[in-house]
Amino acid sequence: MLDQKLIRENPTYVEKSLSLRGKVFNIYQIHELTVKKKEIDIEISSLQSESKKLSKLIGQEISKSQNNNSPELNDLKKKGNEFKSKISEFEEKQRILDKQIHNEISNLPNFPSKDAPTGKDERDNVQVKTWGDPLKKEDLKSHWEIGESLNLFDSIKSTKISKSRFITLTGNGARLERALINFMLDMHTKNGYLELMPPALVNSESLTGSGQLPKFSNESFKCSNDDLWLSPTAEVPLTAFHRNEIIDSKQLPTKYVAYSPCFRREAGSYGRDTKGLIRLHQFNKVELYWFCDPNKSLEAHQKITSDAEGILKKLNLPYRLVDICTGDLGFSSSRTFDLEVWLPSSKCYREISSCSNCLDFQARRSSIRTKIDKKNIYLHTLNGSGLAIGRTMAAILENGQQKDGSVKVPDALVPYFGSNFIKKA
């Protein structure tokens, strides 16, 4: 969430900063509301000050007077009640304005970083580097063809269980998924992350705090009888884990890793990646999350990205690092590095992790602070997939495919999977 004070005092700067996202943001109405709110705050403060003075006079009058019903005392009490009534009226106006302002500001995205490439959409993203040697051969099979031939998953029967865009992993497919989850969690906990396993159902306040609500309500699945939603990413409960708290600065950075099932409607993406493991309504993911000192979030962004890269390197999966341009940034992010893994069948890189620095955007929405130099300030949050499990499996199947139809398991994963190759059962 953007700073209300900044919107009130420098609306031109706010509009200019948001315009880097490639859209026009008119915040005139929000600015007017914040100005009115400030005026009411001042009025309430003034009335409360006068009311306190009057209360002191009433106390003095009572102590020196033998008659508690004297005209002078009654007159003071009457004025005191008038002040209370006015304060109550202004406080009601204040509550209404607070709600209006919160609702309006909640729909504004984060400011893009000045270091992010300027651009309109994904075509303006900048490749920073590549790693590994991409497999480039003709007649390579797609991961869903490999999965079907090796009986790793079943999408047809899954439609009987739920609907399209869900999948049931079978045999070695389920075994490979479980191996990847354990491997990633072990890797990250060795790098200093504390493992959490949060609830899969989250409330509206949690989704609002991380930035999914109100803007992306159509992307999530909601439970009709409760204020609960299926979590679209562990980023949501991990943000909410410290909501309304002040984290001791000595504990920073606080680093969490969480495995969780994720649920997304993928609204607007129908017709894209309908086969295989790339774009499902339910998928598993290992998420990395940092709460850190605001003065150290730039270097933290490099580190969380490096930790996600470490998984790809250990699995020997070719990838590239992309700096996301201002027009393609996620709602809550100020700057994002995407990791894109090589998928030989489509001869292109596909996103497998987005590592984002959200600055104080989520912390402000969730009221998460720390104390530095005896002053409470909003800390910075960072998140990144470490990694998306289904897409990692797809990359392993395609990059490890052998002439005999089997798949070579990455060496680092063999102790978890229990075999060097995936063969037809």
pLDDT by position in tens, the chain (length 425): 899 999 999 999 999 999 999 999 999 999 999 999 999 999 999 998 888 887 777 767 666 666 566 676 677 777 878 878 888 899 999 999 999 999 999 999 999 999 999 999 999 999 999 999 999 988 899 999 999 999 999 988 999 999 888 999 999 999 999 999 999 999 999 999 999 999 999 999 999 999 999 888 889 999 988 999 999 999 999 999 999 999 999 999 999 999 999 999 875 555 556 688 998 999 999 999 999 999 999 999 999 999 999 999 999 999 999 999 999 999 999 999 999 999 999 999 999 999 999 999 999 999 999 999 899 999 999 999 999 999 999 999 999 999 999 999 999 999 999 999 999 87
Torsions phi, psi for 261 (to 5 deg): -75, 145
> What integer pLDDT is reported at residue 268 of this predicted model?
55
Burial of 347 (C-beta count, 10 Å sphere; 0-12/13-18/19+): exposed
> What integer pLDDT is reported at residue 82 of this predicted model?
81
Distance CA 102, CA 209 (A): 12
Where are the strands (E) in 215-367, listed by range? 222-223, 228-230, 245-247, 254-263, 282-292, 319-323, 335-343, 348-357
How many whole angstroms from its chain centre is CA 255? 15
Per DSSP, the three-state class of 32 is helix
Question: In which residue are the tokens 């705090």 written?
Answer: 209
Distance CA 358, CA 64 (A): 61
Distance CA 145, CA 168 (A): 15
For residue 297, what are the contacts with CB-CB under 8 A and spacing of at least 6?
A: 357, 359, 380, 382
Distance CA 161, CA 177 (A): 20
> What integer pLDDT is reported at residue 48 of this predicted model?
87
Distance CA 210, CA 358 (A): 10
Domains defined for the chain, CATH in brackets:
4-105 (1.10.287), 122-422 (3.30.930.10)
The pTM is what?
0.91
Q: Where are the alpha helices (DSSP H) in 286-348?
A: 297-314
> What integer pLDDT is reported at residue 139 of this predicted model?
87
> What integer pLDDT is reported at residue 69 of this predicted model?
67
What does the block give as tokens for 336? 């994002």
> What integer pLDDT is reported at residue 153 of this predicted model?
94
